[in-house]
Amino acid sequence: MSNFNNRRYMGRRLTNAFTIGLSVVTVVFALTFLVWILWTLFSNGLSYLSMDVFTKNTPPPGNSGGLLNAITGSLYMVTVATLIGTPIGIMAGTYLAEFGKDGWLAPATRFINDILLSAPSIVIGLFVYEVAVHRIGHFSGWAGAIALSLIVLPVVVRTTENMLQLVPSNLREAASALGSPQWKVVTMVVYRAARAGMLTGLLLAVARISGETAPLLFTALNNQFFSADLNGPMASLAVVIFQFAMSPYEDWQHLAWAGALLITLFVLGLNILARFVFRPGPASN
């Protein structure tokens, strides 16, 4: 009997040890890829990074050049996209958190917004192509910025709603009791209280669109030359990386690695900034 129990016990322990072992293996598996990707990126990117990358425009194949037009194009479109997407997102998020207590609009919007959050970005590119490129007849930086703003939007809506809900309602009640109208309560009390969290969401949204390639392919297209005109096709770092990396030319591939390092540093930097600098405190964890 005791022998049987013993065997049973050993069996359970073995199963346990086995699954714990597997669990550790999965963690190592994921971390290996993280290190592998980052190491590839840094070792390749650093060796091709030079001042030229920041001061010269994208070259024709076989010539030396940089990524100046792509970097500025990305900055333009990301800025415009953020400026379009953020106010709309904050307003919509405010409705969800503050006013949408009853009625069908708030739950329905929340549901749709969560789907938009993970919707394939290439489909958003297609949509904007149909709306803003096909009708007008040419690719443009505006179309690219609109496509990116559609990706910013759900992120901002989501974080705004979550952060406003974290604000204790006694703050709202206190302000209302002093007689301030609701718009003042929201804009001057609730927004201030939720500022850090909302900023975090915004940073994460910017980080997300900075690396986006798919929605820009059919909207902003690409531009070999420097352009500050949002009405025309515009280069962006991500699209240039895509084009250069897929090309057979070594110079282009080297520039693609340098660009890839820049874009990753920027995106991860924003992520880290969002996590550490603007951490609103233990409440949000």
Partner 1 sequence: MSSYNDNLEKKFAAGEAVIAPAGFSLQSNTKESHAMSMANKRKVNLGAFLDKIFRNSTMLFAFLVFSTMFAIMATLFIASLPALKVFGSSFFLSDAWNPVTVQFGGLVPIFGTLVTAAIAMLIGIPVSFGIAMFITELSPTWLKRPLGIAIELLAGIPSIIYGMWGLFVFAPFFADHGQPWINDHLGSLPFIGVIFEGPAMGIGMLTAGIILAIMVIPFTSSVMRDVFEVVPPMLKESAYGLGATTWEVLRNIVLPYTKIGVVGGIMLGLGRALGETMAVTFVIGNAHELSASLLMPGNTISSALANEFTEAVGDVYTSSLITLGMTLFVITFIVLAFAKLLLIRLSAREGKQS
Q: For residues 199-258, which are near partner 1 according to CB under 8 A? A: 207, 210-214, 217-218, 221, 238, 241-242, 245-246, 253, 256-257
The nearer residue to partner 1, 55 or 107, going by C-beta atoms, is: 107
**Of 74, 86, 113, 200, which one interacts with partner 1 (CB under 8 A)?**
113
Please identify, using beta-carbon distances, which residue of 76 and 139 lies nearer to partner 1.
139
Shortest spacing between CB 84 and partner 1, in angstroms: 12
Work out how close the CB of 270 gets to partner 1 at its nearest, in angstroms, rounded to a whole number. 9
Q: By C-beta, is 80 or 214 nearer to partner 1? A: 214
- Contacting range for partner 1; rule: CB under 8 A; set: 60-68, 76-84, 121-129, 140-148: 121-129
Residue with Cβ nearer partner 1 (68 or 245): 245
Position among 67, 78, 81, 96 found at the interface with partner 1 (CB under 8 A): 96
Q: Which of residues 19-38 bind partner 1 (CB under 8 A)?
A: 19-20, 22-27, 29-31, 33-34, 36-38
Task: Find the shortest distance in angstroms from Cβ 60 to partner 1.
Answer: 19
CA distance 196 to 44: 36
Name the residue nearer to partner 1 (CB basis): 55 or 279. 279
**Minimum CB distance to partner 1, residue 81 (Å):** 15
- Binding residue for partner 1, selected from 42, 95, 191, 278, defined by CB under 8 A: 95
**Nearby residues of 1 by Cβ (< 8 Å), 6 or more positions away:** none
Return the structure tokens found at 103: 């009625």
Cα(255)–Cα(41) distance, integer angstroms: 12
Give dist(CA 163, CA 93) in Å, integer: 9
Q: Which stretch binds partner 1 (CB under 8 A): 46-54, 55-63, 224-232, 265-273?
A: 265-273
Q: Could you say which residues in the range 130-189 bind partner 1, by CB under 8 A?
A: 130-131, 134, 150, 153-154, 157, 168, 171, 174-175, 178-189
Q: Which of 67, 77, 124, 235 binds partner 1 (CB under 8 A)?
A: 124
DSSP letters, the chain, are -HHHHHHHHHHHHHHHHHHHHHHHHHHHHHHHHHHHHHHHHHHHHHHH--HHHHHSPPPPTTS----HHHHHHHHHHHHHHHHHHHHHHHHHHHIIIIITTSSSHHHHHHHHHHHHHHS-HHHHHHHHIIIIIITTSS--HHHHHHHHHHHHHHHHHHHHHHHHHHS-HHHHHHHHHTT--HHHIIIIIIHHHHHHHHHHHHHHHHHHHHT--HHHHTTT---SS----TTS----HHHHHHHHHHSS-HHHHHHHHHHHHHHHHHHHHHHHHHHHTT---GGG-
Instruction: Identify which of residues 80 and 209 has a Cβ nearer to partner 1 in the complex.
Output: 209
